[in-house]
Structure 1
């Protein structure tokens, strides 16, 4: 217990923690992000209603405005949609999907990009050229086009009854496979520097296997920029998923993300039900904005030139 307290005290006294306390925007963004993540993870416990259980829905309560507008009810603080679902509860559940897709897609991009970057930087030669040209080809296709292609292939090879069940994984794969190049290029550049340093040369002279040098020594020294890119890429991945869902390529109606909720509300804007799309859109903006602000602070805090 004392060792844990000592480690916690050392972390609080570190230079990174001091920089965090000196940056009000980073503190606000981190607090907001933490609150939104907690609300998303604990949605089944804290959501006022269970919006995706048909047995709990009442169509007589559909399209109710927010509680502070005439006709609203305190039971539904942010109003209801056309199916009588509580908008606040759908936002909590939608954030779960958006955050889960974003995190999983970034992790997939990190695994692919870091692995290919290490191989390209360590091997060099034609291996490096082949991987980098593959990255150039990848960058010539926008994420949405790649998502269209992957979605079409998935629909062609999967039985109709499995398409909706696997849509979550198809979206993750489509976003993750489109964003690995930035990680590969960063890790490749760092690997080319690290492999020529004295510790790597000493390890090779000691006949340490190349894979052990690569993953036990070179990889840890390249993770700093990767963490920064992953943090900034999380906001991009969440926003990309929202765009795909808005276009109908993302999550199905049974697992709606924030983008899918915005798409549903967009169809009702002309009839005056502005709250159905406005509040999920505001939640998406706050989520992506908090991630980006925290990522910008982390990039500056870990930049040795600014210390």
Structure 2
């Protein structure tokens, strides 16, 4: 217990902690991000209503404006949509879906990219050539086109009654497959440097297997840039999911994300119900912006050239 306390104190007095404390915008962004994540995680506990329980919905409460506008009520602080669902509660539940999809997609692309990058950088030769050329081909296709392709394959392979249920995993696969190249290239470059160092040569002389060398020695020395990429990639993944949902390729209405909520509200903008899409859009901007600010700070702090 005493060792854990000592490590916490050392972390608090480190250069990283000092640079964090001396950057008010990063502190504010971190606080906002933590608040949004906590609200999304505890949506079922703090949301005023359950917007996806038909028993709690009343069509007579549809299209109520925010509480401060004419016709608004404090029962629905941010108003309701065309089905009588509380917009604030829908944002909390939808933000949880957006964050889960973003994190899962980044984890998938990170795992795929790091694995292929380690293989390409360590073994080199024709293996490296094949993996990197596949990455070049991958980069020639936009994420939306890849999503169309994966969505089409999923519709062909899956029964009709399972398509909506599996949409969550299809979106994760589409975003993850589209973003693995940047992880692979970063890890490959670091691996090519590390494999020439003395400790790797000593491990080979000691008859240590290639898998153990890569996993136990090279991987820990390449993980720093990967974590920065993952942080920055989270914001991109959340935004990509919102774009796909807005275009109808993302989450279904039964599992709405922020992008799905924006799409639903966009159809009512001309009718004057601006709050249905404005508030989910503002939540999306706030979430992605806070993630990007923290990611940019991590990139600057962990970049030795900027110290």
Q: Same fold (TM over 0.5)?
A: yes
What's the offset of the Cα at 1:5? Answer: 2.3
Deviations 1:181-215 (A, max 9, x none): 00000000000000000110111111111110111
Correspondence for 1:232:
232
Aligned residue number for residue 155 of structure 2: 155
What is the correspondence of 1:88-167 to structure 2 with a 5 Å cutoff?
A: 88-167=88-167
Deviation per residue, 1:47-74 (Å, 9 max, x gap): 0100000000011111000000010010
Unaligned runs of 5+ in 1: none
Partner of 2:20: 20
1:2 aligns with 2:2: yes
1:70 aligns with 2:66: no
Counting only pairs closer than 5 Å after superposition, residues 1-307 of structure 1 correspond to structure 2 as 1-307=1-307
Distance 2:53 2:2 in 1: 47
1:8-28 C-alpha deviation (Å, 9 max, x unpaired): 212111111111111111111
Gap regions ≥5 residues in structure 2: none
**Aligned partners of 1:3, 1:91: CA distance in 2, in Å?**
42
Two-structure CA RMSD over aligned residues (Å): 0.7
Q: Distance in 1 between matches of 2:59 and 2:18?
A: 53
Please give the TM-score of this superposition, normalised by the length of structure 1.
0.99
- SS in structure 1 of the partner of residue 222 of structure 2: helix
Partner Cα distance (2:217, 2:274) in 1: 55
TM-score of the two chains, using structure 2 as the length reference: 0.99
C-alpha deviation, 1:124, in angstroms: 0.5
